[in-house]
Amino acid sequence: KIALLLALINRQVGGVLLVGARGTAKTTAVRGLVGLMPMVEHSTCEYGCEAEDVYLFGMGGVCKTCATKLGMGDPITTSEQMRLVELPLNARLEDVVGGISERVALEQQKVMLERGILAQADQNLLYIDEVNLLNSTIIDAILDAAAQGQYTVRRGPMSTTYRSRLTLVGSMNPEEGLLRPQIQDRFGLRVLVRGVTDIKERMDIDRRAVAYKNKPYKFVSDREAETEAAMAEEIEARKRLPKVQLTVAVEEKALSWIQRLKIDSHRAEMTLFEAGRALAAADGRLDVTEEDLRTVAPLALRQRQTDIASGFF
């Protein structure tokens, strides 16, 4: 839960990979984030135009329709709640990145590029269940787009750049196949999920599951106050995040851990620092402590330990 909340507070954490056996509530935990998601600005344009495009590129940075709206003083974005977008396991590359719209081609006899799942997930949370079973080309495209915050689709002479500022969460059962190490490294935090061992807690899980299946609306409404309080805390943490800083002493301490672990990937400290900032923001503080980094270090560093590269130098 800590890893998922940190990723929701700070997109720069780089996402979360949940690794565990079947039935350990990985998907349930991700879907449980829906009630905590804040309001974000979404483009109302089919091309994803935003007002900041004008500041960056001039009026040529937005489509003609949006340029007209902005010229008349009308908004081209609207405030909506962040959504959970789930990637189907049978998704094609064209579905993910976008391609030529078959509907427009048939109905209007013209060629137009259509947004894919990645563009639809902009400013939202993209969840990939069984990520280890996904086609390598597709997962590479998703990870690149998530890291860059945008991607470009080219089909013949046409090309369009879409935003993909998304929070990425993947889950997998290692019994069904492993994930390439370079892909694991692209996820900021990795969590090893195990079943609860305490007998009373397992009984409580069963009772909650039965209660939800029998009366889902009552189950949700009984916890509405707790959910709203958690959402308010998460929203405040997001607002506080830009002000959260690390001291040089704390950074050097963390880098000494990475050095002792012989980790080559620079994503190690980037993820560690951003996760530490998110944890401090969630705790209502503006300074990251060594204890914050110790808390998130296993999530950020464990999967990046390797001695394989040392044999080549």
Q: Which pLDDT does position 109 carry in this prediction?
A: 57
Q: Which pLDDT does position 110 carry in this prediction?
A: 56
Q: What is the pTM for the complete model shown?
A: 0.86
Nearest-angstrom CA–CA distance, 38 and 9: 10
Q: Which helix (H) or strand (E) holds 138?
A: helix 136-148
Chain center to CA of 47: 22
Lowest mean per-residue pLDDT among 15-29, 110-124, 184-198, 240-254? 110-124
Work out the average pLDDT over 139-154: 87
Determine how β-strand 125-129 pairs with β-strand 167-172.
parallel
Q: Which of 257, 298, 281 is nearest to 8 (CA)?
A: 281
Count Cβ atoms within 10 A of the Cβ of residue 83 and give its class: 0-12 exposed, 13-18 middle, 19 or more buried. Answer: middle
By annotation, the residues acting in catalysis are 267
pLDDT-derived band at 313, boundaries 50, 70, 90: very low
Q: Which of 277, 269, 283 is nearest to 243 (CA)?
A: 277
Q: Which pLDDT does position 207 carry in this prediction?
A: 96
Q: Which helix (H) or strand (E) holds 27?
A: helix 26-31
Query: 30-64 burial, b for 16+ CB within 10 Å, e for fewer?
Result: beebeebbbebebbbbebbbbbebbeeeeeebbbe
Helix boundaries (H) for 178-247: 181-186, 199-214, 216-222, 224-240
Nearest-angstrom CA–CA distance, 180 and 173: 14
Q: Which pLDDT does position 124 carry in this prediction?
A: 92
Enumerate long-range contacts of 207-211, CB under 8 Å, 24 or more apart.
none
| Cβ neighbours of 127 (radius 10 Å) | 23
Work out the average pLDDT over 106-118: 69
Does the pLDDT of residue 161 top 90, yes or no?
no
- For the beta sheet containing 16-20, the strands, ordered from the edge strand earlier in sequence to the opposite edge, are 84-86, 125-129, 167-172, 16-20, 189-193
Lowest mean per-residue pLDDT among 141-145, 209-213, 250-254, 268-272? 141-145
Work out the average pLDDT over 80-90: 90
Q: Which pLDDT tens digit goes with each residue over 5-52?
A: 999 999 999 999 999 999 999 999 999 999 899 888 888 887 778 887
Lowest mean per-residue pLDDT among 64-73, 185-194, 291-300? 64-73
